[in-house]
Amino acid sequence: MLDDLSRFEQFRAPHELVSDALGYDLLAGLRNGSTPIQTNLASSLMTVLASVVSLEILRQSGAISVMGAAGYSVGQWVALYAAGAVSLEQLIRIVRRRAAMMDECATRNPGNMIAVIGIGEATLEECCAAIRSRGLFVAIANYNAVGQYTLSMEQRAESVVLQEVQALKPLKCVPLSAAGPWHSQLMRPAADALAAFLQEEAFRPAAIPVIDNTTGGFLPADLELCRRQLADQVSQPVRWSSGIQTLVTQGAARFIEVGYGNMLTKFGFFINRNVQHMTFHTSLA
């Protein structure tokens, strides 16, 4: 994730801030195998670092006109940074606390996530409801695109969920290496803890609208409501498809993915093919 970016000058300062937040040199830890990359804390800060550096390289590579920002899960905080609502130091501080709260909650409420492709939303919702009626928690955690979803569930429900979903004959049903049942009601204690923490954080007015993962609309201008929705995002589904469609209706014609990989660009092709979806590669800088 970071090898290509680490050669750029823009990598140095945010890497030092992330390393200070972790208490060790992140890049050195990755290279010697000591960084616990499966924890939400390390993976969240790695995602933020890759996204911030890629964003800065894109900004300095030429003029671009931006009408809105969206970020997937922890990326929503990077979107707020891109919109000028939080500083880099703030971004890293908040994401560090958010991840620690989620990891603590996952220890108390262990669970898993499963990616499902090729089943209609209504059918998958009915399947989850039927499993919940048997006293086992499972729910859609990510609405990525038409026919592409992620489920979060309590640990003891995983075998049942796999059996029931596979019976629907999906194109793909794959357990993920997530460290917890993210974006589900099992994370409610983490959302409440984050809401209290965010009361101490001051936000600047965003220069551009930012999509809210929990509603698929824009984050509200009202600061108290915005804080609550940002906290709720930890325990509510990511409605990525709806957020992209909101930007399209507001006039967005081109979506540029920054950070590592091209997963969101791939989702975009299934969300709306009437607009351009592209991934920024540092090789283009």
Element (H, E) at 113: strand 111-117
The contacts of residue 245 (CB under 8 Å, 6+ apart) are: 216, 271, 272
Task: Tell me if residue 39 falls in helix, strand or coil.
Answer: coil
| pTM for this prediction | 0.94
Q: How many CB atoms lie within 10 A of CB 6?
A: 17
Least Cα distance to 71 among 95, 90, 93 occurs for 95
Taking the C-alpha atoms of residue 187 and residue 167, their distance in angstroms, rounded to an integer, is 28
Domains detected in the chain: 5-106+185-284 (3.40.366.10), 111-175 (3.30.70.250)
Taking the C-alpha atoms of residue 44 and residue 62, their distance in angstroms, rounded to an integer, is 28
Taking the C-alpha atoms of residue 105 and residue 160, their distance in angstroms, rounded to an integer, is 23
List the chain pLDDT tens, one digit each, 285 residues: 888 899 999 999 999 999 999 999 999 998 898 888 878 888 999 999 999 999 999 998 877 789 999 999 999 999 999 999 999 999 999 999 999 999 999 999 999 999 999 999 999 999 999 999 999 999 999 999 999 999 999 999 999 999 999 999 999 999 998 889 999 999 999 999 999 999 999 999 999 999 999 999 999 999 999 999 999 999 999 999 999 999 999 999 999 999 999 999 999 999 999 999 999 987 555
